[in-house]
Amino acid sequence: MDQDQHAPLREDVRLLGEELGAVLREQAGERLYDTVETIRQAAVESRSQGEVELARLRELLGPLDDATLLEVARAFSQFLNLANIAEQHHRERLHRRHERYPGDPDTDQGLRQVLAKLKEQGVPPERIRETLTPLSVELVLTAHPTEVTRRTLIRKYDQMADLLAERDRPDLTTEEEHGLRQRLRELILSAWSTDEIRRERPTPVDEAKWGFAVIEQSLWRAVPRAMRDIEAELALAGLDTPPSAWVPIRFASWMGGDRDGNPNVTATVTREVLLLARWMAADLYLRDVENLLADLSMHRASEELLARTGPSHEPYRVVLRDVRDRLKITRRRMEALVEGRPVPDGEGFTEGRQLLDELLLIDRSLRQVGLAAIADGELKDTLRRLNCFGITLLCLDVRQESTRHTAALDAITRYLGLGGYGDWDEAQKQAFLLKELESRRPLVDDAFYRADLCDGDVREVLETCKVIAEQGPEGLGAYVISMARGPSDVLAVMLLQKIAGVRHPMRVVPLFETLDDLNNAGDTMTALLDIPLYRQRVSDGQEVMIGYSDSAKDAGFLGAAWAQFSAQEKLTGLFRDHGVPLTLFHGRGGSISRGGSPTRMALLSQPPGSVAGRIRVTEQGEVIRFKYGRPSVAAYNLEQYVAATLEATLLPPGEPEDGWRREMQKLTDVSVQGYRQVVRDDPALVGYLRTVTPETELSRLALGSRPARRKPGGGVETLRAIPWVFAWTQIRLMLPAWLGTGAALEAALDSEDETALVRQMAERWPFFQGVVDMLEMVLAKADPRVAAWYEERLTDAPDLKRLGDTLRQRLAASVDALHRLTDREDLLVNNPVMRWSIRVRDPYTDPLHLLQAELMARLRDRDGDDVLESALMVTIAGIAAGMRNTG
């Protein structure tokens, strides 16, 4: 590692640690400070010796009373959050210098490097331009919050990052340095004095407001900044300047629309979120227009604009005042609708085109009279915001589980005396659905909504479709069907929208997420495209969502990855043959076992031709904060997406060799069997999960509006993917990311022929390279010794001890297999930054793990103890910060 390059990071970590220590001394006293420092030193010494001395750490933690345990947990948790601030700021520092962060998994090639590579490969400029013009990157912000940090603390952490940035100024005076450090201590004191734990579970509307806040505080500035950076890079490469309105980036959201397994998301909630989004959009554009009013005081204007305003010394302000008044009316109307008050009179903006036309009139005039430099200022930024966010702020997706649609149609057919739709086979369902889709008569009358068959769940599905009907198409995105298994699941949603009178139907997107569903995705979509009515409906394009979370939970990391690749490959070929543009929607999470990976790696590891200038990706939980919470980082990541999409489109990976495919299938078969042998077939697994990990305690943490389980009770199959991953991450076993995969690699490496083949795959096949790199990252975070601490404190059950031994042996074997494959003695030898990051955190996470196990044991003996419960929640949040991801 370049010592000079990363010295500022170490200096920031040291500085923040010193200031936290000063706050501890001042607020909690020397005794607590000494206790924390003694524990930290013991952990550092233990790690430096290569073996954690459990007895020594236990000896220090064991005698502490409950209140002291809470304060110790808070201290270690705070440091880990401060270390994250320093790391994030260091990335910003290097981004500003256009420097690579060697080995950093969050750093990809920027647009400059991609354009240089395209030139080197002989891609003509016109081909680049033809690809860039329709390029579409849509990022879908989802609630699922694995985000455990309170918004009030996030704000303080962002302010600390701003101060670190100020300290980087080369012309900083001694007085300014002193003032910045004083302010930093004040913020750390403020954070220390703030409750870390969110005490009330957020509602879906709260989650949506959190998403709006990310736009207001960061993305509103980041989008025009990213576009200016992209424009500069294109100019540097000698490419034409794109039009002012060109923005290849869009945002959508599931917050307030994702009702799959979340009874708290209702039609009423969805309607309120849509109105709130328009309210926020009107407010943000109003701020932009106020700034433009202050700036556009010039009198020279085009005849077109003067024909609109009449003689005026400040014609631009005449137009902008009218725009301002209409935005105020729009905001008041949205506010009244949200609050259930009478809607005020007046002409607001109901479509984005109305506002766009006004701004483009000003833009044309400025350019015609020689004031293009002014048009390229804040007006251009506002035009780009409008083309990115529209007047609806973002497009809201709706997601619902397929059986809910079946139940609604079953109620309708029984009401009509046609029998039970749910009892029909696929052919009968399709025949009914197609007949009704082509029919002009209404299927049901108003009396149906008063019938007993139209119960709560059925009514909710139909009310959601009514909300879709009453809202304009600009604010709505995709209607995603989870657990889609057959053509009727897609046709059913099309019919339900027709029943509700939707004039501009939402596009219907099947989500294939289990191993079987992914394997059958090609057949399902083939059957749909064989239907003339359907083929005609999707002639302009089809979107298909690929699920990462549930597929990995169902089949393990490797099995899911190959199924996802194979499904995308089949779908790409199918839609290419039918001449229908395909957009693949990737339902990725933050953790590796849920599809999380660096942008470029993720896109270039897809099958060739599957990106084709269009990508849609979910951004979940804390990933939103890490990637988009600060304008400079957000702008960088947006540019990364554009660059990676362009590269994957014009320089896609080659087709995998037949031998690689056969080997991959063999690896997958071994991996899935090994994974399911434990997760499905070992009777001790559920007991281990609920006893040794904090899986049951996670329900106490107010993470999000959605229940942790799809239904009460049950085993692993009822647990959602996020808490499933979260629980294993907390004890550093990281089981979902490696179980089965290590066994598959072991089996291959035991054969001389297969060893040569898998090494070739790791060197030459981007898909398999990505698998190996991500496996290495997650195994570097795993620590079987930590998992053993939890077992030792929390269970004496022989079957759980037996399973724990087995899992740790398999983890060690997986690490060994990876060493054999890569020929590297240590994990992350080629990733020094991540190695340093893990090493600096271990002395702070080790005590938190021990504390967590102790607190779990005490709480299970004394349920309902507020101090213990608070301390446990702090350890969960602290470990999540230390691991840099949760679910």
Q: Mean pLDDT, 10 residues at a time, over the chain (887 residues)? A: 68 92 92 89 73 71 86 90 87 67 51 94 95 95 63 86 90 92 95 81 87 93 96 93 88 93 92 96 98 96 96 96 97 95 92 96 97 96 96 96 96 95 96 95 90 91 95 92 94 97 95 92 96 95 89 86 94 96 83 56 88 91 81 91 94 93 96 94 93 85 54 58 82 91 93 92 93 88 90 94 96 93 76 71 86 89 82 88 66
Distance CA 458, CA 456 (A): 6
How many CB atoms neighbour CB 44 within 10 A?
16
Burial (0-12, 13-18, 19+ Cβ within 10 Å), 199: exposed
Calculate ∠ Cα 729-731-733, nearest 5°. Answer: 70
What is the SS3 assignment for 843-886?
Answer: HHHHHHHHHHHHHHHHHHHCCCCHHHHHHHHHHHHHHHHHHCCC
Q: Residue 136: what are its φ and ψ, rounded to 5°?
A: -135, 115
Asked if 525 and 544 count as a contact pair (C-beta separation under 8 A), the reply is: yes
The tokens describing 548, both together, are 């990462």
Name the residue with tokens 């299927």: 443
The tokens describing 93, both together, are 């520092």
Calculate ∠ Cα 859-838-694, nearest 5°. Answer: 20
Considering only the C-alpha atoms of the chain, give the largest distance between any 2 of them, rounded to a whole number of Å.
90
DSSP, collapsed to helix, strand or coil, labels residue 737 as: helix
* Residue 40 pLDDT: 83
* Residue 83 pLDDT: 87
Distance CA 429, CA 416 (A): 15
Asked if 770 and 605 count as a contact pair (C-beta separation under 8 A), the reply is: yes
The DSSP-derived string for 570-624 is HHHHHHHHHT--EEEEEE--SSGGGT---HHHHHHTSPTTSSTTEEEEEEETHHH
Name the residue with tokens 């060109």: 246
323: nearest Cα among 297, 301, 345, 291: 291
Residues in the chain: 887
Distance CA 775, CA 587 (A): 19
C-alpha pair distances (Å), 176 with each of 13, 156, 173, 491, 801:
20, 20, 5, 65, 58
Q: Torsion over CA of 121, 126, 130 and 135, rounded to 10 degrees?
A: 50
* Residue 153 pLDDT: 83
End-to-end CA distance of the chain: 30
The tokens describing 190, both together, are 């403020």
Residue 144 known to be catalytic:
yes
Asked if 700 and 869 count as a contact pair (C-beta separation under 8 A), the reply is: yes
578: nearest Cα among 538, 611, 520: 538
The tokens describing 217, both together, are 């505080």
680: nearest Cα among 741, 740, 742, 748: 740
Distance CA 647, CA 635 (A): 18
What residues contact 586, with CB distance under 8 A and at least 6 apart?
545, 546, 548, 595, 602, 615, 616, 617, 618
pTM: 0.89
* Residue 829 pLDDT: 62
Q: Residue 138: what are its φ and ψ, rounded to 5°?
A: -115, 120
715: nearest Cα among 694, 740, 695: 695
Name the residue with tokens 């030139």: 119
| Per annotation, catalytic residue among 144, 209, 586, 627 | 144
Distance CA 142, CA 208 (A): 9
Distance CA 883, CA 83 (A): 11
> Which uninterrupted H or E stretch holds 291?
helix 267-295
* Residue 592 pLDDT: 45
The tokens describing 50, both together, are 């290569």
| Per annotation, catalytic residue among 156, 209, 405, 553 | 553
For the range 682-691, what are the long-range contacts, defined as Cβ-Cβ under 8 Å and sequence gap of 24 or more? 682/803, 683/799, 684/799, 684/800, 684/802, 684/803, 685/716, 685/803, 686/715, 686/716, 687/797, 687/799, 687/800, 688/800, 688/803, 688/804, 689/716, 689/727, 691/794, 691/795, 691/797, 691/800
* Residue 548 pLDDT: 82
Distance CA 612, CA 125 (A): 17
Identify residue 372 by its one-letter amino acid code.
A
Q: How far is CA 868 from the centre of its chain?
A: 31
The tokens describing 351, both together, are 């479509």
* Residue 108 pLDDT: 52
> Which uninterrupted H or E stretch holds 805?
helix 798-822
The tokens describing 750, both together, are 């035991």
Residue 553 known to be catalytic:
yes
Distance CA 823, CA 225 (A): 43
Phi-psi region of 482 (alpha: psi -120 to 50; beta: other; left: phi over 0): beta
